[in-house]
Structure 1
Amino acid sequence: MRVQRFTVGLGVLLVVAVLFTAFYFQLYRVGTSNDRAIAVMLKSSNVRSDFWQTVRDGAEAAAKGSGVRLEIMGSLQDTDAATQVRLLEDVLIRRPEALVVAPIEDAGVAAMLDRIREAGIKLVVMDTPMQLDFDAVTVSSDHTEAGRQAGGVAVKEAADAPRVAVLSDFASSGVSAERVKGIREAIEPYGDSYAGTFYGENSEDKAYAAAERLVSNEPGVNAIIALNESAALGAAKALEETGKRNSVKLIAFDSSLYEIKLLEEGSLGAMIVQRPFNMGYLGVRAALKLIDGREVSRLTYIDSIVVTRDNMYSPENQKLLFPFR
């Protein structure tokens, strides 16, 4: 009898367990079916990156009141394609309704984005227009126009007689190529105005060495345009140490605290500053439209601003340069 009661009791417990499990998972599905999620993948999640933290702020502002939960992620370094591929694989497993991504230029990243689109996840590309097998919705700075702005500053600083060298990161960078295209368009009418593009590989030390060689081998150069922060810092150091700070004008992209200090000191003639908050905001708004089946522009360009020592203290530019104040 004792064995029979035990068997019956065990059977009841098993039935209860099965029913509880089924009920639990049903509750889980109901609770999450309306829990709309958008994954936002930054190039870098480094809290010291003012640019990407401001993109994050814009994304969060766009999601407020929408009923959408953001899952924000990113590799520590903005060149770490392997980590970004792994994060994209996780997105494919979790299957949010949409992904807003600032992709690192890499074949593996492009392949993962294609898989994510095929899985039915809505896709918005930020910052870096990618060569993909499909027409992705893109929210990006107009890098070619920003290059034209930088070239225009060089022309003005050189009194309409520019001899411009460009200090870039990598020859393979699509963003840098677009900026160089714009620079060359701006300076082309001024004769022998382009001294070439040189590469610092995202290293301040390598940019310093490249700039030092440049001013030694190209004495006619009167303007250097640095396409990122490391190039700007390396070039500024080289110009200071070679005594060329006043004769060679330095124009830079980005707006790190170190670059702002160089602008205040007069080591930088101008900065080409993007609008990262707008990028994050418009990226998430585009994703929300895609989720809701509304019409969305396939390409949205965000303008950049030329900031100089003369206008850096204007209220608008202070918001761009110091977004967390």
Structure 2
Amino acid sequence: MFRQRFTIGLALVLFIAAVYSIFYFKLFSVTNHHEKSITVVLKSLNVRSDFWQAVSAGSAAAAKENGLTLNVQGPLQEGDAEEQIHVLEEAISQKPQAIVVAPYADDRMPALFKQIREEGIKLVVIDTPLEMKSAPVVVSNNHVEAGRLAGETAINVTKRNPVIAIISDHADATISKERLEGLKHALERYKNSIVGVYYGEQSEDKAYDMAKKLLDEGRSFNTFITMNESATIGVAKLLKEQNKAGAIKLIGFDSSFYEIQLLEEGVLNAVIVQKPFNMGYLGVKRALSLIEGTNTAPVTYIESNVINRKNMYLPENQKLLFPFIENK
């Protein structure tokens, strides 16, 4: 009986040891196989954010294509700069070979970027370039050009009579400031075409209230240009409620599922669509180039496209509105 129990016990120990050995070998092999490790820190991991989900998908596609170990992090809610700082600090402590970050315009970011470099970690900034003495490699949409496209679209949909109320997020938001710069450039030859710039702080409700106040005051304008998705959705809700869709033009940015619906309904006249999948993909590719020591362009700009109800079903625009992994 003792010998039988001993045999069973020994077999069990050997089985556990074998499983552990296999697991350890696989873990060791994977770690060595994926020598290049990249952490991507986004502005949001919220599954409802089509934009950041597309950036994440692009990053994953580049990592898979090149056999990289990829870790995508970020705050749950967009606008949470404090949490992004915490996530970035944690990422630095993990010492990946490269960090790709879409930073908020926070005063603490330059110091963190300096720390990343001092740790010997390669750095790529996507989406929102920050002004620094020693600029990192940047992959970004050309926001000035996107703003110009919005202005030209407003000119076209109003038959060269644009009178525009602009609803943005924050006065100091880098992306919105660049879009506004391009927009003003497009409208230079149309005097008094901008009635004002108003701020909804990335809130649908605040954008709705601001637009309602403008209409209640009887302000004379024929177009809303909304600088981000939340402003677009808030203003669209108001136009639908007051049966002013079409009478007042609406031009927005980005391409969320709800914005696509608004295009189909004719509430939204056009959207300036970025290519977030491409941005995530190229961000990781540029990080890989830095790791490998190959020549890397200091700045890579990604173009935007104007999508409207007439051209939204073209194959090339469907790829922009519904970015799948194979679309690079």
Q: Tell me, in whole angstroms, the C-alpha distance in 1 between the residues paired with 2:161 and 2:34.
A: 61
Aligned match of 1:308: 308
Q: Tell me, in whole angstroms, the C-alpha distance in 2 between the residues paired with 1:250 and 1:47.
A: 26
Aligned match of 2:54: 54
Q: CA deviation at 1:32?
A: 5.2
Report percent identity of matched pairs.
Answer: 51
Q: Residues 263-274 of structure 1 correspond to what in structure 2 (within 5 A)? A: 263-274=263-274
Q: CA deviation at 1:34?
A: 6.7
Q: Tell me, in whole angstroms, the C-alpha distance in 1 between the residues paired with 2:319 and 2:31.
A: 40
Partner SS, residue 190 of structure 1: coil
Does the 8 A contact of 2:34 with 2:68 survive in 1? no
Normalising by structure 1, we get a TM-score of 0.87
Q: Tell me, in whole angstroms, the C-alpha distance in 2 between the residues paired with 1:227 and 1:260.
A: 16
Q: CA deviation at 1:190?
A: 1.2
1:113 paired with 2:113, answer yes
Q: Tell me, in whole angstroms, the C-alpha distance in 1 between the residues paired with 2:133 and 2:64.
A: 33
Partner SS, residue 300 of structure 1: strand
Q: Tell me, in whole angstroms, the C-alpha distance in 2 between the residues paired with 1:261 and 1:66.
A: 36
Aligned match of 1:17: none
Q: Work out the number of aligned pairs and report it.
A: 300
Kindly provide the CA deviation profile for residues 144-168 of structure 1, in whole angstroms up to 9, marking residues without a partner as x: 1000000111011111111111110
Aligned match of 2:209: 209
Does the 8 A contact of 1:78 with 1:104 survive in 2? no
Q: Tell me, in whole angstroms, the C-alpha distance in 1 between the residues paired with 2:75 and 2:90.
A: 13
Q: Tell me, in whole angstroms, the C-alpha distance in 2 between the residues paired with 1:219 and 1:242.
A: 15
Q: Tell me, in whole angstroms, the C-alpha distance in 2 between the residues paired with 1:60 and 1:220.
A: 47
Does the 8 A contact of 1:84 with 1:109 survive in 2? no
Aligned match of 2:143: 143
Q: CA deviation at 1:243?
A: 3.8
Q: Tell me, in whole angstroms, the C-alpha distance in 1 between the residues paired with 2:43 and 2:94.
A: 20
Aligned match of 1:4: none
Q: CA deviation at 1:88?
A: 1.3
Q: Tell me, in whole angstroms, the C-alpha distance in 2 between the residues paired with 1:301 and 1:222.
A: 32
Kindly provide the CA deviation profile for residues 161-212 of structure 1, in whole angstroms up to 9, marking residues without a partner as x: 1111111011110100001111111112112111111011111111011011
Q: Tell me, in whole angstroms, the C-alpha distance in 2 between the residues paired with 1:59 and 1:130.
A: 21
User: Could you say if the C-alpha distance between residues 309 and 195 of structure 1 is closer, same or farther in structure 2, counting changes exceeding 3 Å?
Assistant: same
Partner SS, residue 40 of structure 2: strand
Q: Structure 1: which 5+ residue stretches go unaligned?
A: 1-23
Q: Tell me, in whole angstroms, the C-alpha distance in 2 between the residues paired with 1:49 and 1:34.
A: 29
Q: Residues 1-325 of structure 1 correspond to what in structure 2 (within 5 A)? A: 35-217=35-217, 219-324=219-324
Partner SS, residue 57 of structure 1: helix
Q: CA deviation at 1:35?
A: 2.3
Does the 8 A contact of 1:168 with 1:226 survive in 2? yes
Counterpart of 1:322 in structure 2: which amino acid? Answer: F
Q: Structure 2: which 5+ residue stretches go unaligned?
A: 1-23
Does the 8 A contact of 2:34 with 2:69 survive in 1? no
Once the two structures are overlaid, the 10-residue window that deviates more, 234-243 or 270-279, is 234-243
